């Protein structure tokens, strides 16, 4: 499952820029296959970070789309970084920031807003009950 679609890319970049990033055959159109492959790979990366702490379904918020788009855009231009580092460096920087955010989610330092909160592990050794815990007293 992909968290983003073509319209999300168009809204983020514009049609013209999206064509520039995907059209390796100079057809003048968005390469839908390249777009789909990048979106699915980015969604898989996202899932690999969040599913240890969260369960499906993940709410597709603006932040989720931003992170997945940043990863997908890097996937699309990573082969171009070797030939034109400066022009595409922004995509690598955003990709690195996205991975840092996902690592924070995975480690509990950040949360996915709108998704069910992960269970909190009780490491105190206490058994939760419905009753108030009182200190035992000796009978006289």
pLDDT value, residue 140: 58
Task: Mention every residue, 6+ apart, whose C-beta is less than 8 A from residue 4.
Answer: 39, 42, 43, 65, 68, 69, 72
The neighbour count for residue 64, using CB atoms within 10 Å, is 20
pLDDT value, residue 79: 77
Q: Within 13 Å, how many C-alpha atoms sit on residue 114's CB side?
A: 8
The neighbour count for residue 77, using CB atoms within 10 Å, is 21
Q: Estimate the crossing angle of helix 15-22 against helix 6-13, to 10 degrees.
A: 110
Given phi > 0 = left and psi -120 to 50 = alpha, else beta, which region is 125?
left
The per-residue pLDDT string of the chain (140 residues; one tens digit each, 9 = 90 and over) reads 899 999 999 999 999 999 999 998 999 999 999 999 999 999 999 999 999 888 877 889 999 999 999 999 999 988 776 666 677 888 989 999 999 999 999 998 998 887 766 655 545 555 444 444 545 556 65
Could you tell me the two tokens for 59? 């709410």
Distance CA 55, CA 11 (A): 28
pLDDT value, residue 128: 47
């Amino acid at each position: 499952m992909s968290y983003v679609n073509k319209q999300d890319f168009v809204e983020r970049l514009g049609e013209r820029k999206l064509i520039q990033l995907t059209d390796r055959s100079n057809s003048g159109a968005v390469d839908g296959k390249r777009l789909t492959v990048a979106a699915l790979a980015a969604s898989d990366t996202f899932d690999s970070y969040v599913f240890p702490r969260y369960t499906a379904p993940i709410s597709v918020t603006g932040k989720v789309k931003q992170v997945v788009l940043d990863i997908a855009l890097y996937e699309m231009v990573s082969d171009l970084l070797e030939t034109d580092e400066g022009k595409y460096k922004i995509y690598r920087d955003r990709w690195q920031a996205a991975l840092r955010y996902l690592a924070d989610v995975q480690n509990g330092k950040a949360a996915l807003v709108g998704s069910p909160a992960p269970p909190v592990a009780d490491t105190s050794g206490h058994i939760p009950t419905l009753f108030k815990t009182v200190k035992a007293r000796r009978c006289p």
